[in-house]
Amino acid sequence: MEFRRIWALRGPNFWANYPVLEALVDLGPLAERSSEEIPGFNDRLKSWLPSLHEHRCSVGEPGGFFQRLERGTYLGHILEHVALELQTLCGCSVGFGKARAAEQEGVYRVVVDYEEESLGRAALETGRRMCLAAVHNQPFDIAAEVQQLRELAYDVRLGPSSLAIIEGARARRIPRIRLSRSSLVQLGHGCHARRFCTAETDRTSALAETIAQDKQLTRNLLRLAGVNVPIGRPVADEEDAWRAACEIKVPVVVKPQYGNHGRGVATNLTTREQVVAAYRAASEESSHIMVEQYAPGEDHRLLVIDGKLVAAARREPAHVVGDGKQTITELVAEVNRDPRRSDGHSTVLSFIKLDTIGLAVVAEQGFTPDSVPPAGQKVLIRRNGNLSTGGTATDVTDLVHPDVVRDAEDAARVVGLDVAGVDVVACDVSRPLQDQRGMIVEVNAGPGLRMHVDPSLGQPRPVGEAIVASLFPPGANGRIPIIGVTGTVGATETCRLIARLLAASGMTVGEASREGAKIGARVIDPDAIATIGPERGEPLSGPLLREADAARALLLNSSVEVAVVEATPASVAAAGLGYDRGTVGVITSIGDGPLPAIPGYVELTQLPGAPDMSDLEDRVRLLAAVADVVVSTGVVVLNADDPLTLSVRERTNARKRFHWPTFLFNPQTSSLSWPPLPPSGQRA
């Protein structure tokens, strides 16, 4: 059981209107053995992945796949379900799969949905090894394998903040393109595109971010605006830190002057030893340290977007609760087993760490890591409530006093941030800060959204939608018109004709065809897109398989107002379309003769492992991808002289301007004409 190759179809394709992985799997001697014929196979697979019970399969009900196992099904079909379930266990909700016998005996095409390409590929490989272990009655450490996949998912998936914004964009049908392995994402296409990275947008100025990073400058600016802030100053060394603490009067806070995410922050310090230890810990994060007044009360994060407060959370510092049996180290390890926690920002909570600051906080309470706290005893590991240091959050948006709302919005405005995380320390945010010695202690650029998206307690807030609304006016979806053209004859000429007609109207046209890619009169290199995005796919052989990349390159260019894209049969089969939705779809011809004799299919026959497309329905299905993705308000143009092409009209969801027939299209001259209309009672 081996993979001959795996293709990533990164756009709408033969199988689905969204990205899938297509694996060509050689089952070898296992090709003729179904699940019920292999002793113990079904029991082993069920014990390793009991959650497969939820797969309905063709039976259409939970347990359906298990019923298929008992009746007998082949390993290609089993691999499909296993690969999907492994991705689901890693937090990627995927459900579409297909297993189909290929042209060669004993070879299957296994198709699976994916969210992250590298995770999908890893799930296929893990699934292959799991199936073989079940066949040969070999041990398989499913817990370790799933954990390894989850670690990969943590590395490659976008974090909660980015996902919240993407969900907000999805609700408005705004397309998105991931631009890097980090969190840089483009929303929309061409001239309507906007970009963000976590909670920073293309409206977040570098100047505002610079101000926010300088805690001393931020505090001074806020004080000039009449906002309550703690007094403090930068310090040069340990001794200067203690002198500053004495000047300000303890308790104090020691933290990096330039920083974020609460790293290196120690609060409520009252002794020289604590201040010195905190200075040393902060020095591990930054060479610029400051000491400031400690504000009594609880830690709150107020999120201001486009000048308005949209969410607020009360943050509780990382802590454990004793049970009278386990040490503090063991209690921390138990808390960190929560699947919502990870080492970073890829999940809604972060690991609690017994690092330098954590050990100091534990020691202040009279404990060591080996201490066994009494049952019910709360032991702090941090004094600041940042989620990035293991804290938790409770939503308090509806409790914030109007005066506190005004203070937070003023703070974001003074710093100049379009998206700002305003840190407020107060005993009660339902009262004005002036009445309780409450203070705004920081204003953060690129604030984490996870405490508002998935709070430990309280109501989630639609903060991603609010950021999307700040980037796109009501009703806008960020799309430009996309005209997709495919066919075995005349497609390139038609693509060129449409592009010239649109350019004559004064629009900036992006054109991608087998002849190359252009924006206006400028030729561009679609190969450059191989360096953009989270994945680096396997290169496709031959210059005629670059249409999908060329289409994506057009959509990334901020000057393009309309895109005209040719999709050759080979490109659709091997890479999928280079766009997700189209405004117009044009199919010039499909062809019903032998493949080597049909222009457009020659390249397809030369691709190793490509489908042979001898079945006419498969040919229609392949090229119909261009019509299938046309939006409901769009238009599909078909060659009415080709019966195969005309049959596509029953497949598309687009608004069909079909009279009788659709349009008369002459591939030789690339011309359209209206036929005489039949009597109205006979119109389709």
Asked if residue 245 lies in contact with residue 275, where contact means CB atoms within 8 angstroms, the answer is yes
Q: What is the pLDDT of residue 668?
A: 52
Give the helix ranges, DSSP H, for 196-343: 206-213, 215-224, 238-248, 272-283, 328-335
The region, left, alpha or beta by phi > 0 then psi within -120 to 50, assigned to residue 132 is alpha
State both tokens at 314. Answer: 């009360």
The one-letter amino acid code at 73 reads T
- Geometric angle at alpha carbon 147, from 145 and 149, rounded to 5°: 70
What is the residue type of 468?
Answer: V
Beta strands across the sheet bearing 194-197: 176-178, 184-187, 194-197, 200-201
Distance, in Å, from the CA atom of 325 to the CA atom of 328, rounded to the nearest integer, reads: 10
Q: pLDDT by residue (tens digit) across 574-583?
A: 899 999 999 9
Per-residue buried b or exposed e for 568-578, using 16+ beta carbons within 10 Å of the residue's own CB: bbbbbbbbbbb
CB atoms within 10 A of CB 231: 14
Q: Which of 519, 521, 513 is nearest to 495 (CA)?
A: 513
**DSSP of 455-518, one letter per residue?**
-SBS----HHHHHHHHHS-TT------EEEEE-SSSHHHHHHHHHHHHHHTT--EEEEETTEEE
- Please give the pLDDT value at position 541: 47
Count of residues in the chain: 684
- pLDDT on residue 272: 94
Largest pairwise CA distance in the chain: 97
3-state secondary structure of 52: helix
Q: Could you give all domains of the chain from N- to C-terminal order, each with its CATH number?
A: 2-156 (no CATH), 318-381 (no CATH), 482-682 (3.40.1190)
Tell me the residue ranges of DSSP E strands in 69-216: 97-101, 107-113, 176-178, 184-187, 194-197, 200-201
* Model pTM score: 0.84
Question: Phi/psi class of residue 221: alpha, beta or left (left: φ > 0; alpha: ψ in -120 to 50)?
Answer: alpha
- Among residues 204, 208, 255, which one has the least CA distance to residue 230? 255
What is the DSSP code string of 551-604? HHHHHH-TT-SEEEEE--HHHHHHH--SSS-EEEEEE-----S-GGGSTTTHHH
Region at 194 (left for phi over 0; alpha for psi -120 to 50; beta for the rest): beta
Chunked into runs of 10 residues, the chain (684 residues) has average pLDDT values of: 92 94 95 92 96 89 92 95 96 92 92 95 97 96 95 90 95 94 94 96 96 91 92 93 93 83 81 93 89 90 98 93 93 89 73 89 90 92 81 94 97 97 95 93 93 93 97 96 93 93 95 90 82 63 68 94 94 92 93 77 79 87 93 87 84 48 47 44 32
Instruction: Report the run of H or E that residue 46 belongs to, with start and end.
Output: helix 41-48
Cα dihedral 153, 158, 164, 165, rounded to 10, equals -160
